[in-house]
Amino acid sequence: MRLQARAATRSRPRERKVGSATGDALILMLVPGDASDAGSQRGDKSMQSRIILAVAALLFAPAATRAQTPAPSDAKLYFISPQNGETIQGPVTIRFGLVGMGVAPAGVEKEKTGHHHLLVDTGLPKMDEPIPTDDKHRHFGGGQTEATITLPPGQHTLQLLLGDWTHIPHKPAVTSEKITITVK
């Protein structure tokens, strides 16, 4: 995130917010405006509000700009069920196991905790960014330790990845072994 201010000679600055379509970035720029700008009519309180907004934006920078949350080196994530190589009649109930850490809902910042993400038929995502949300990256941000999912018939790979309170994998990453199951 960056904050850029340009001096205005005869007019007050106005605020522009620019972000990505997914909302994962916020850029606040103060650029010169003219007297017809609605923002220029608000006076000093408006400028104070803008400064407060800029400071808040810096404090709550996108998660990708923060350091990864540390995890104990002996933390272990695993599947209680299903087992590798198992053939299952759908829907599939998956039970998550975790040793050496606790489970907390997304948004709750607590040391040595995280929440589960199930990777379906895909590899590990980038480890220093929030885990994507789609059919291949299923989030269990409520702190769930089991889920029943529907998968089409056929062979599928499954892997668990623990995310921190902002959905970023820990450092070191806490992952399960990748398993393969067959759905009838």
pLDDT score of 11: 38
d(CA 94, CA 109): 25
Contacts of 152 (CB under 8 A, 6+ apart): 183
Distance from first CA to last CA of the chain, Å, rounded?
48
Q: Which pLDDT does position 83 carry in this prediction?
A: 97
All residues at 6 or more sequence positions from 144 whose CB lies less than 8 Å from its CB, including other chains: 96, 115, 116
> Distance between CA atoms of 126 and 89, rounded to whole angstroms?
32
pLDDT in tens, 80-92: 999 999 999 989 9
Which of the pair, 53 or 155, is modelled with greater confidence?
155
Amino acid sitting at position 1 = M
Residues 115, 104 contacting (CB under 8 angstroms): yes
Q: What's the mean pLDDT when you consider all of the chain?
A: 78
Its pTM stands at 0.66
Q: What pLDDT was estimated at residue 144?
A: 96
The model's pLDDT over 1-54, given as tens digits with 9 standing for 90+, comes to: 333 433 333 333 333 333 333 333 333 333 344 444 444 444 566 666 666 655
**CATH architecture observed for domain 76-183:** Sandwich (2.60)
How far apart are the C-alpha atoms of 19 and 166, rounded to whole Å? 18
Is residue 115 predicted with pLDDT exceeding 90?
Answer: yes
Domain chopping of the chain, boundaries: 3-61, 76-183
